[in-house]
């Protein structure tokens, strides 16, 4: 018998499944009986399961790279002429492969918890391990049954495959965006598993939350950066000049991120004030359920979207999984509710915990709005057969005011002390930020930014930046006074020694960049469309666009019709090549924009139409989009801030114990 990647992959997955099932029992037994041998068995099961799933993923990559069209997935998503890069990333270009990637990440998280979590928290982490094994079992069932078996053989082995979806082999971000999103999605399983474990054990405390704080932060950051990478991809590939369309898959990705953002903040309330215990559990459960709901919505063909893969048997299974998770989690939560009493009350409306609560309310309202907006066409059709659409006009109108409210809260929250502030402090703290906000508003008016929302965004952005600068200045001043450090050393030490706090402020700055980018690009984009002949040129927002003519380019996997454009003016001197791409497996040409990116504005060019007979003319659309690159920059700053906040801080004495509360109990 000769070697086949299909046999290797199938074999590895089939061997992993019983190990994962065994792991549920072993970990549960180890947790219940505090049995060391059972725990060791569960740990090794986790590690071997992980290695087997990685082996299966490598087998799929091997099959793709060697163009093994005897595997149906390879035949559908790869072709002999597909470039190596897009061949490898085809692992996640369609349903079965992406479920395999998902399973591999989940197996990795399970192995991590098995080896790194269980020594510190034997009972809690071991119970969480059993929960993780149960979830892993579900995904292994998917990839070993026809639901999402990636290694199904082709009935007839074709000489060449279809190649990936044209849209998915057009940009290197394809290598980054889906894995980041999946990592973010799947790593949130860990906080969820600990939360469930805490409920099962009836612990009532916040150990689950402290133990998984970093996991939650990292998965939140990966999800956030993955969303920004996705909007960058859609901006660079889809060719309409936008980066966010409130497409169901975008909505599916943003919903867990919104709830997770609420969670990351309300966690602090529980840590500092021993409040919101049941609320935090609810947020973790909701975040996790939304990751599964998103997968269900987009992978089952229930809603149409650019991203949705073809309809498959996986839909009902994911729906069943989602329902089971929600019913079991909510049931557990209700059962344990009496043990989840809060130790105290919220302070005045002008206390930090109150701002966190308002922030939570707004985040949850924003999420509910996205959720119902996404599902509403389905609901309306089921109820009355009415066909209707919920798109950008609805979401923009509803979410923008909520986003502005969040910016406002982001400015005041960090400035307020826990329990409440006096009026004198308020005035002292907020004088400079309010003056900055006025400056932001006037700047917006002076630069002719259209619309009250855009002006408000500038005002609030300046407000938040001023509060962050004020916080850093205060911290630096204090360190200089106490330790005699230079300003730069003090700054570095703030980030290193109090990374959670000051990293968080850096994240806030990243969000401000995103907000300013969105407000500016949405309200000041200039659009010019001209039909031109070779040698013609025209103006767009101070740039001169010269059309050099059309030409054909032949590449192994596709043909291109390229429009040569020269962009000059405003300090730019660039040659752009917007094109239409013709793939053998696609009936319609795919547009590919030519973009001259800049810190100040992007010149975004699209070849809209052309003279098909003599190629003597072409219609070119030019969008001059201001500050759009700040959006990607903002995503990077958010990621950087999250890294600073997630890095382990040097050990130090507990100086700032809360005044009225007992010290946290530690130990199992």
> CA separation (Å) from 499 to 64, 218, 471, 492, 656?
43, 14, 13, 10, 16
Q: Classify residue 202 by its DSSP letter.
A: T
Is the separation of the CB atoms in 532 and 618 below 8 Å?
Answer: yes
Query: What are 140's two structure tokens?
Result: 């292994």
Judged by CB, which is closer to another protein: 199, or 354? 354
| Minimum distance, C-beta of residue 340 to another protein, in the bound complex (Å) | 14
Q: Which listed residue (435, 492, 553, 647) binds another protein by CB under 8 A?
A: 435
Cα R_g (the chain), whole angstroms: 27
Q: Which parts of 145-204 interact with another protein (CB under 8 A)?
A: none
DSSP SS3 for 668:
coil
Of 105, 100, 209, which is closest to residue 144 (Cα–Cα)? Answer: 100
Using the rule CB under 8 A, is 487 a contact of another protein? Answer: no
> What is the Cα–Cα distance from 72 to 251, expressed in whole angstroms?
30
Of 514, 667, 573, which is closest to residue 203 (Cα–Cα)? Answer: 667
Q: Which listed residue (479, 508, 524, 530) binds another protein by CB under 8 A?
A: 479
> What is the Cα–Cα distance from 527 to 525, expressed in whole angstroms?
6
Judged by CB, which is closer to another protein: 49, or 592? 592
Judged by CB, which is closer to another protein: 116, or 397? 397
Q: Which parts of 436-465 interact with another protein (CB under 8 A)?
A: 437-438, 441-442, 444-445, 449-452, 454-456, 459
Using the rule CB under 8 A, is 389 a contact of another protein? Answer: yes
Is the separation of the CB atoms in 109 and 132 below 8 Å?
Answer: yes
| Minimum distance, C-beta of residue 396 to another protein, in the bound complex (Å) | 9
Q: What string marks each residue from 295 to 334 as x (binds another protein by CB under 8 A) or -?
A: ---------xxx----------------------------
| Minimum distance, C-beta of residue 481 to another protein, in the bound complex (Å) | 8
Query: What are 106's two structure tokens?
Result: 């989940």
Which span sits near another protein by CB under 8 A: 2-10, 75-83, 145-153, 387-395?
387-395
Q: Which listed residue (653, 663, 665, 667) binds another protein by CB under 8 A?
A: 653
> What is the Cα–Cα distance from 46 to 118, expressed in whole angstroms?
12
| Minimum distance, C-beta of residue 565 to another protein, in the bound complex (Å) | 16
Using the rule CB under 8 A, is 662 a contact of another protein? Answer: no
DSSP SS3 for 581:
strand
Using the rule CB under 8 A, is 645 a contact of another protein? Answer: no
| Minimum distance, C-beta of residue 238 to another protein, in the bound complex (Å) | 9
> What is the Cα–Cα distance from 128 to 115, expressed in whole angstroms?
12
Using the rule CB under 8 A, is 237 a contact of another protein? Answer: no
Using the rule CB under 8 A, is 493 a contact of another protein? Answer: yes
Q: Which parts of 99-138 interact with another protein (CB under 8 A)?
A: none
Instruction: Quickly list H helices, 337-391.
Output: 352-384
Q: Which listed residue (330, 365, 546, 560) binds another protein by CB under 8 A?
A: 365
Judged by CB, which is closer to another protein: 2, or 389? 389
Using the rule CB under 8 A, is 243 a contact of another protein? Answer: no
Judged by CB, which is closer to another protein: 100, or 269? 269
> What is the Cα–Cα distance from 396 to 245, expressed in whole angstroms?
10
Instruction: Quickly list H helices, 161-276.
Output: 177-187, 189-201, 207-237, 248-273
Which span sits near another protein by CB under 8 A: 95-103, 313-321, 373-381, 535-543?
373-381
Is the separation of the CB atoms in 517 and 627 below 8 Å?
Answer: yes
Q: Which listed residue (161, 166, 248, 626) binds another protein by CB under 8 A?
A: 248
| Minimum distance, C-beta of residue 514 to another protein, in the bound complex (Å) | 20
Using the rule CB under 8 A, is 651 a contact of another protein? Answer: no
Using the rule CB under 8 A, is 431 a contact of another protein? Answer: yes
Is the separation of the CB atoms in 49 and 12 below 8 Å?
Answer: no
Judged by CB, which is closer to another protein: 219, or 287? 287
Q: Is the dihedral of CA 64, 69, 74, 75 positive or negative?
A: positive
Residues in the chain: 668
Give, in degrees to the nearest 5, the angle at Cα 342 between 339 and 344. 150
Give 586-590 contacts, CB < 8 A, sequence gap 24+. 586/166, 589/561, 590/166, 590/167, 590/170
Is the separation of the CB atoms in 457 and 515 below 8 Å?
Answer: yes
Judged by CB, which is closer to another protein: 304, or 568? 304
Judged by CB, which is closer to another protein: 67, or 501? 501
| Minimum distance, C-beta of residue 604 to another protein, in the bound complex (Å) | 11
| Minimum distance, C-beta of residue 442 to another protein, in the bound complex (Å) | 6
Give, in degrees to the nearest 5, the angle at Cα 514 between 510 and 520. 140
Number of residues engaging another protein in binding (CB under 8 A) = 94
Using the rule CB under 8 A, is 242 a contact of another protein? Answer: yes
Of 604, 606, 605, 600, which is closest to residue 626 (Cα–Cα)? Answer: 600
Judged by CB, which is closer to another protein: 66, or 348? 348
Q: Which parts of 395-424 interact with another protein (CB under 8 A)?
A: 397-398, 402, 417-422, 424
> What is the Cα–Cα distance from 88 to 65, expressed in whole angstroms?
7
Judged by CB, which is closer to another protein: 106, or 362? 362
Q: Which class for 657: exposed (0-12), middle (13-18), buried (19 or more C-beta within 10 A)?
A: exposed
Judged by CB, which is closer to another protein: 55, or 406? 406
| Minimum distance, C-beta of residue 239 to another protein, in the bound complex (Å) | 6
Task: List beta partners, residue 605.
Answer: 594, 622
Q: Which parts of 506-525 interact with another protein (CB under 8 A)?
A: none
| Minimum distance, C-beta of residue 440 to another protein, in the bound complex (Å) | 8
Using the rule CB under 8 A, is 278 a contact of another protein? Answer: no
Q: Which listed residue (1, 84, 156, 345) binds another protein by CB under 8 A?
A: 345
Q: Which parts of 577-636 interact with another protein (CB under 8 A)?
A: 591, 606, 608-609, 621
Q: Which listed residue (203, 206, 247, 602) binds another protein by CB under 8 A?
A: 247
Query: What are 596's two structure tokens?
Result: 């001259």
Q: Which parts of 540-579 interact with another protein (CB under 8 A)?
A: none
Of 570, 469, 460, 595, which is closest to residue 516 (Cα–Cα)? Answer: 460
Q: Which parts of 205-224 interact with another protein (CB under 8 A)?
A: none
Which span sits near another protein by CB under 8 A: 116-124, 128-136, 476-484, 562-570?
476-484
């Amino acid at each position: 018998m000769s070697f086949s990647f299909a046999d290797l992959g199938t074999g590895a997955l089939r061997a992993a499944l019983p190990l994962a099932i065994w792991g549920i029992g072993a970990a549960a037994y180890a947790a219940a009986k505090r049995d060391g041998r059972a725990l060791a068995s569960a740990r090794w099961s986790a590690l071997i399961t992980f290695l087997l799933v990685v082996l299966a993923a490598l087998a799929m990559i091997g099959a793709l790279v060697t163009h093994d069209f005897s595997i149906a997935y390879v035949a559908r998503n790869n072709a002999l002429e597909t470039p190596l890069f897009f061949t490898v990333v085809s692992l996640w270009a369609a349903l079965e492969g992406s479920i395999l990637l998902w399973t591999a990440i989940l197996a990795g998280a399970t192995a991590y918890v098995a080896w790194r979590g269980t020594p510190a928290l034997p009972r809690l982490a071991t119970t969480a391990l059993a929960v993780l094994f149960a979830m892993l079992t579900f995904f292994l069932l998917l990839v070993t049954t026809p639901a999402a078996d990636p290694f199904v053989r082709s009935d007839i082995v074709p000489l060449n495959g279809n190649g990936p979806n044209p849209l998915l082999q057009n940009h290197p971000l394809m290598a980054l965006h889906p894995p980041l999103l999946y990592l973010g999605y799947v790593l949130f399983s860990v906080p969820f598993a600990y939360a469930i474990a805490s409920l099962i054990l009836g612990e009532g405390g916040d150990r689950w939350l402290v133990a998984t704080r970093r996991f939650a932060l990292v998965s939140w950051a990966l999800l956030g950066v993955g969303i920004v990478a996705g909007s960058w991809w859609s901006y660079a590939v889809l060719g309409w000049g936008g980066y966010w369309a409130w497409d169901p898959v975008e909505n599916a990705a943003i919903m867990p991120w919104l709830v997770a953002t609420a969670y990351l903040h309300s966690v602090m309330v529980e840590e500092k004030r021993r409040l919101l215990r049941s609320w935090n559990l609810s947020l973790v459960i909701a975040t996790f359920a939304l990751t599964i709901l998103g997968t269900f919505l987009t992978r089952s063909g229930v809603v149409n979207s650019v991203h949705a893969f073809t309809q498959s048997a996986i839909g009902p299974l994911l729906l069943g999984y989602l329902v089971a998770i929600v019913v079991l989690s909510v049931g557990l939560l209700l059962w344990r509710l009496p043990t989840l009493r809060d130790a105290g009350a919220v302070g005045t409306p002008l206390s930090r915990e109150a701002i966190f609560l308002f922030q939570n309310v707004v985040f949850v309202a924003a999420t509910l709005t996205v959720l119902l907006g996404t599902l509403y066409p389905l609901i309306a059709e089921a109820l009355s057969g009415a066909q209707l659409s919920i798109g950008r006009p609805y979401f923009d109108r509803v979410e923008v005011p909520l986003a502005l409210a969040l910016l406002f809260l982001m400015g005041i929250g960090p400035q307020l002390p826990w329990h409440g502030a006096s009026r004198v402090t308020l005035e002292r703290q907020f004088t400079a930020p309010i003056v900055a906000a006025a400056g932001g508003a006037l700047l917006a008016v002076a630069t002719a930014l259209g619309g009250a929302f855009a002006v408000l965004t500038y005002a609030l952005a300046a407000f938040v930046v001023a509060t962050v600068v004020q916080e850093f200045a205060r911290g630096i001043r204090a360190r200089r006074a106490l330790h005699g450090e230079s300003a730069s050393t003090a700054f570095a030490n703030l980030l290193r020694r109090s990374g959670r706090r000051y990293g968080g402020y850096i994240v806030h700055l990243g969000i401000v960049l995103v907000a300013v980018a969105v407000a500016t690009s949405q309200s000041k984009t200039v659009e010019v469309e001209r039909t031109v002949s070779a040698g013609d040129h025209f103006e767009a927002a101070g740039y001169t666009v010269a059309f050099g003519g059309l030409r054909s380019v032949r590449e192994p996997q596709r043909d291109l019709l390229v429009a040569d454009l020269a962009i000059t003016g405003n300090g730019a001197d660039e040659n752009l090549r917007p094109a239409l791409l013709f793939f053998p497996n696609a009936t319609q040409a795919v547009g590919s924009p030519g973009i001259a990116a800049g810190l100040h504005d992007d010149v975004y060019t699209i070849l809209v139409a052309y003279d098909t007979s003599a190629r003597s003319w072409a219609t070119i659309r030019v969008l001059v989009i201001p500050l759009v690159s700040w959006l990607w920059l903002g995503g990077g700053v958010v990621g950087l801030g999250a890294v600073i906040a997630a890095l382990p801080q040097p050990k130090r004495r507990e100086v700032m114990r809360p005044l009225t509360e007992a010290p946290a109990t530690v130990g199992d």
